[in-house]
Amino acid sequence: MAKIGWLILCFLLSSCAAGTVSDAFVREQYERGCALRQEGKAVEAMQCFIDASQTRTGDHLLLGRVYANMANMCRQAERHQTAYEVYTQSAEQFLLGGDTLLYAYALNNMAWEQAVMCDKPLAIALADSACRVCTQQKIRNKTYETRAAACLYAEQYDSVLHYATRIEDPVYGSMLLAQAYSLTQQCDSALRFAQQVIKETTNPRYLDDCYYILAHCDSLAGRTEVLAWTAARTDVQRDLEAYKSEMAQAVLLLEQSRHPKHMVYLMLLIPLGIGTAAWLAYMLWLRRRLRTIKDEQATRQADRLREIEQLGQRLRQSAQPKKTIPWQDFTALCTYGDAHLFGMPGKLLARGLSEREVRLSLLVLLGFSYAEMADILNRAENGIGKDKYLIAKKLGVSARDLQTTLLEMACKN
């Protein structure tokens, strides 16, 4: 029993020691990542943050700061969906750590990313949640920035003007006002606020937007000034693109660590293989089924054609073809046709043929000659030809193809 007790004690002590070592490693990687980020080495900084995030630690607040730094870098690279996902992880860690202020900041950052992705309702809901979690005024001031951005991307410029005047950061507020006034074609106000931002900040993102506004809202400026602003914006964009490129490489490193290639390939190949096998099996079954249906239809059509031909032959061979079918009594003729001629009288009436044309169509169907038709219907042969032409015209075919068309109609259910 004493040995077991010593073993349990040693295990607990080793676990505590391992936890302490891992916490120290996370803190070391976090501090090193922050230093590298200050030096502009985005890829190396991101690798440090990734190493810190992949290490088990009980310090939730430190891990939340790690995720927050990673998300900030994603925001600077304009990978807003990835930034939103990582901000969500930071919010979870701050919540586990019990820091409501940092948790509220994380919620507001999530809201800002949704604002940029043009989901204003979700952005406003997250901003409201941040205000409910922490009632401090500085949180409320940060949510004003998010709300203004959400309204800007939703093209609700009056609301932008409302929130921008309440933003604590004068530079960011002035930039939002300049953008809103520019988009509403109030060039004088846009120029005034854009010039104010340029005087008070060196942030390349703010400068890029403001130089663009100055170059395109030139109602108070001369051509020389516009050219100078355009040239200045070109320099800012060149530096900004180089910075974005470095950040993009860092974010790519993060996304690869979050979604390893072999796991992605495996996740794609398994459902793809199952889907391909199911598709091939379904196509084989469908091919056999279609072939069976086609054969059955061909057999039924051949049987019906054979029955119609035999019926016509019997009628033509009859000594008194006039008395074989009740040609003069149309009601009786329709009853006979429904029973023996596959419902042809009803089909022909549905196509707009008259009683007289139905009688003639049935004779054509059964293969009677002009002389036989004239004898049965007590009419002249010339009139038979004319009526046959009119029937073919109603059915949308030529007189030569009339019998074939009628046979096809007879074979259809």
Gyration radius (Cα) of the chain, Å: 42
Mean model confidence pLDDT for the chain: 79
Same-domain check for residues 67 and 92: yes
Same-domain check for residues 252 and 287: no
Distance (Å, whole) CA 338 – CA 198: 91
**Rounded (5°) CA angle 195-199-205:** 80
Instruction: Please give the full DSSP string across 215-240, using - where no structure is assigned.
Output: HH--TTS-HHHHHHHHHHHHHHHHHH
Distance (Å, whole) CA 297 – CA 241: 68
Q: Where among 264, 289, 315 does a domain terminate?
A: 264
Q: Is 78 left (phi over 0), alpha (psi -120 to 50) or beta?
A: left
Distance (Å, whole) CA 9 – CA 244: 52
pLDDT greater at residue 157 or residue 136: 136
- The model's pLDDT over 27-62, given as tens digits with 9 standing for 90+, comes to 888 888 888 888 878 888 888 888 888 888 778 888
CB burial of 3-30 (b: ≥16 within 10 Å; e: otherwise) equals eeeeeeeeeeeeeeeeeeebbeebbebb
Same-domain check for residues 294 and 334: yes
Given a cut of 60, whether residue 266 has pLDDT beyond it is: no
- Averaged pLDDT, 255-262: 64
- Averaged pLDDT, 144-172: 80
Q: Where among 264, 296, 329 does a domain terminate?
A: 264
40 contacts 250 by C-beta, under 8 angstroms: no
Of the listed ranges 25-29, 121-125, 150-154, 270-274, the least confidently predicted one is: 270-274
92 contacts 121 by C-beta, under 8 angstroms: no
Query: What's the burial of 209, exposed, middle or buried (CB within 10 Å: 0-12/13-18/19+)?
Result: buried
- On whether residue 272 sits in a domain, the answer given is no
- Averaged pLDDT, 353-360: 91
Distance (Å, whole) CA 16 – CA 44: 30
Structure tokens at 371: 């002389």
397 contacts 408 by C-beta, under 8 angstroms: no
Closest by CA to 190, choosing from 154, 153, 164, is: 164
Maximal CA-CA distance, the chain: 126
Same-domain check for residues 114 and 243: yes
Same-domain check for residues 146 and 95: yes
- On whether residue 10 sits in a domain, the answer given is no
Given a cut of 50, whether residue 403 has pLDDT beyond it is: yes
Distance (Å, whole) CA 141 – CA 100: 16
- On whether residue 339 sits in a domain, the answer given is yes
Q: How confident is the model at residue 354 (pLDDT cuts 50, 70, 90)?
A: very high
pTM score above 0.85: no
Percent share of the chain, pLDDT over 90: 4
In 261-354, where does DSSP find H-type helix? 261-317, 321-324, 330-340, 344-350
Domain that holds residue 344: 281-411
SS3 342: coil
Distance (Å, whole) CA 96 – CA 351: 76
CB atoms within 10 A of CB 248: 18
Given a cut of 80, whether residue 302 has pLDDT beyond it is: no
Q: How confident is the model at residue 221 (pLDDT cuts 50, 70, 90)?
A: low
SS3 36: helix
- On whether residue 399 sits in a domain, the answer given is yes
Same-domain check for residues 286 and 258: no
Question: What CATH number is associated with residue 75?
Answer: 1.25.40.10
What pLDDT sits at residue 12?
Answer: 46
Residues 6+ apart with CB under 8 A from 409: 344, 347, 348
Q: How confident is the model at residue 229 (pLDDT cuts 50, 70, 90)?
A: low
Structure tokens at 101: 């202020």
Same-domain check for residues 346 and 316: yes
Same-domain check for residues 325 and 363: yes
What pLDDT sits at residue 312?
Answer: 65
What pLDDT sits at residue 353?
Answer: 92
Same-domain check for residues 256 and 292: no
pLDDT greater at residue 5 or residue 248: 248
43 contacts 246 by C-beta, under 8 angstroms: yes
Same-domain check for residues 290 and 362: yes
197 contacts 171 by C-beta, under 8 angstroms: yes
Q: Position of tokens 């469908």?
A: 286
- On whether residue 332 sits in a domain, the answer given is yes
Q: In Å, how far from its chain's centre is CA 73?
A: 27
Same-domain check for residues 23 and 57: yes
Q: Position of tokens 């023996």?
A: 340
- Averaged pLDDT, 187-193: 78
Q: Where among 264, 293, 316 does a domain terminate?
A: 264
Same-domain check for residues 77 and 160: yes
Q: How confident is the model at residue 9 (pLDDT cuts 50, 70, 90)?
A: very low
- The model's pLDDT over 268-284, given as tens digits with 9 standing for 90+, comes to 667 777 878 888 888 88
- On whether residue 400 sits in a domain, the answer given is yes
Number of domains in the chain: 2
- On whether residue 5 sits in a domain, the answer given is no
- On whether residue 171 sits in a domain, the answer given is yes
Q: How confident is the model at residue 89 (pLDDT cuts 50, 70, 90)?
A: confident
SS3 329: coil
- Averaged pLDDT, 3-9: 50
130 contacts 139 by C-beta, under 8 angstroms: yes
